[in-house]
Amino acid sequence: MKHRQLGTCGPGVSALGLGCMGLSHGYGPATDRSQAVALIRAAVDRGVTFFDTAEVYGPHLNEEVVGEALEPLRDRVVIATKFGFTFGDDDKQQILNSRPERIRSAVEGSLKRLRTETIDLLYQHRVDPEVPIEDVAGTVKDLIESGKVRHFGLSEAGVTTIRRAHAVQPVTAVQSEYSLWWREPERELLPALDELGIGFVPFSPLGKGFLTGTIGADATFGSDDFRSVVPRFAPAALQANRALVELLNRIAADRGVSSAQIALAWLLAQRPSIVPIPGTTKLHRLEENLGAADLNLSAADLQRISETFAQVEIQGDRYPAALQARVGR
């Protein structure tokens, strides 16, 4: 497995990390705990050293699984988690809350669930408009000075917020969605991160599974699957967006690799500071994804991909309106 550095002052990590959310949250029923633990450990065996979770996934369950899986391997891995919410009575209602006291209590809970003394990378999960980002960054700075956290990150934050936070406590990494079918970060976010020396961690690098080519135009999703409320996965959008997957499949076939590998290799080719975190619940998909780290796309390959994808206008928003309002602040 190849390695990269997260930002100018961040940790060295595997070129591809593992997004652990889907093992217990967001994409249907939780994976059997023993199987989830086995998958995470299999990833370490195959060279993955970067694992992403969050307090909100479950909530709490995902951190517990990651903690159990990585406790005996702790000195070999970098663990990222996130704060930023409190929960309603049924644990399903997520309420933005990045007040300093809430950040501190969230970190204490995460440390226990992750079975570790230090969180390697702590993200604010979503910007809280009720709490100045300087207060958030200052609180994380205190946690870093106390040894409970090593690095500070932001998720789905806007460029102005990133700059303000970075002035108080250097930001090691920013996490946002980025893939061949969501390229908005190229407009403002990526140039700003380059300027500031901040690493970029794309989540949903396979378009929530769409870029694997395994989701048909007639696909449906259960009520416990996040995609059931995502406009981009509505029937009409799926039908229109299949054109993109068909083009991707052709490029992959010409190279003798999978569509997922092309999509991940394309991301890796964009910048050396990019570390995607594809998620999966299946060992064979994990191995397929990791193969992308060794797939080198030539300048001609990248030009063909760019020209090919320019032919397709992607249909559907990536979030329902209520969730879209939380990003880019």
> Would you name the residues annotated as active-site residues?
57
Question: Would you state the structure tokens that stand for residue 78, as one six-digit string?
Answer: 């970098």
**Crossing angle (nearest 10°) for helices 133-145 and 159-168:** 40
CA atoms of 143 and 231, how far apart (whole Å) = 38
Residues 6+ apart with CB under 8 A from 222: 28, 228
Q: Which of 224, 230, 134 is nearest to 177 (CA)?
A: 230
Q: What is the greatest pairwise CA distance in the chain?
A: 54
> Helix, strand, or coil here: 110?
helix
- DSSP-assigned beta bridge partners for residue 225: 27
How many other C-beta atoms can be found within 10 angstroms of the C-beta atom of residue 240?
Answer: 17
Residues 6+ apart with CB under 8 A from 289: 16, 206, 260, 261, 264, 278, 280
> Helix, strand, or coil here: 113?
helix
CA distances in angstroms from 5 to 78, 97, 203, listed in the order given: 12, 30, 17
Helix, strand, coil percentages for the chain (3-state, nearest 5): 45, 15, 40
| Residue located via tokens 């500071």 | 273
Question: Would you state the structure tokens that stand for residue 211, as one six-digit string?
Answer: 């870029």
Residues 6+ apart with CB under 8 A from 132: none
Considering only CA atoms, give the Rg of the chain: 19
Question: How far is residue 52 CA from its own chain's centroid?
Answer: 7
Question: Would you state the structure tokens that stand for residue 87, as one six-digit string?
Answer: 């929960």
How many other C-beta atoms can be found within 10 angstroms of the C-beta atom of residue 229?
Answer: 14
